[in-house]
Structure 1
Amino acid sequence: MVTKKTDSLPGQATRRSRFGKAGAAAAALALAAGTVPMALAGPAQASNDYGGDDHQGCEVWALKPVVDYNDYGTHDDSVDYRVKVHCDEGYGIELYDQQWEQDHGPDEYLGDWSTDDYFEHEDTRIYHIERQAPDTEHGDEEVYHRVTYQVYDGQWSGWHGWKYSHVAYVYQ
């Protein structure tokens, strides 16, 4: 059980549950059932909302993807879509990230990723989402990702707006 120290009078209990059994079960069911609202799954266009401004115990940034080129020229390069999270002590977070390739028409959906985490102490963490670099068109690829999240502090917040990364180029 995850606990957090609280102020108390002498003789009283000094710990309380942050993710009680019901909350943990609800979070697990929510992840298993894929409860990210359908409105969140629509096509994306990169914008300038890069994150860090919604603070309800946690802040989230969609960092610019990093392309890792192999030395063999065999189109098996990879992309690291990174999400930076800072949470205060005693907060939980659920992240949902989508990866995209930018096109002149509708952007091409490449995949998604989700996780949840608990911050027993105030901390900053970077999550790495490794994917094979896309090869969807003639010429260079332009990749980005977007992340949304909800915060847990006894109850779940609503889903925050999308945080978009800058575009990175995969040179062919």
Structure 2
Amino acid sequence: MEEQELQRLVESISIEAFGKPFLHQATFNSRLRSTGGRYLLGTHHIEVNKKYLDQFGENELIGIIKHELCHYHLHLEGKGYQHRDFDFKWLLKKVGAPRFCTPLKEKTSKRTFKKIHLYECINCHHRYQRKRSINTSRYVCGKCQGRLKKIKEVILE
């Protein structure tokens, strides 16, 4: 789906579900991570996360658009447009928009293992575990100010 198709879809949903025109811009925003879309108060534009279309299809996208259009129309009318407001909750039910979108399936991380770096003080033999490696010529023991030496790296799976 291209941005022009998204614009037409938002405009048609606005007319069908709300009986009012959508006079601003609707775009895809790939940087959205934890939300399906957002309504921008300053410009009145709507941004939609394209990942929801790719993972869940057009029905989920339509639900997100309806949700954002609820924010849009209530804000322009001067009514309660925030999630906690009665007007917003009422309009969501009226048009059949979801209050929350389905969570995205998380990608598996590139590194499925953890690395632990073990250090020991030369003087007092106190041991330190660190997730990140440290520069042993720059850092010293916190107990006796002795020099540190790297013992080993442990890889946990």
Q: TM-score w.r.t. structure 1 length?
A: 0.22
Q: TM-score w.r.t. structure 2 length?
A: 0.23
Between structures 1 and 2, the one with greater helix share = 2
Larger radius of gyration: 2
Which of structures 1 and 2 has the larger relative contact order (alpha carbons within 8 angstroms, sep 6+)? 1
Between structures 1 and 2, the one with greater strand share = 1
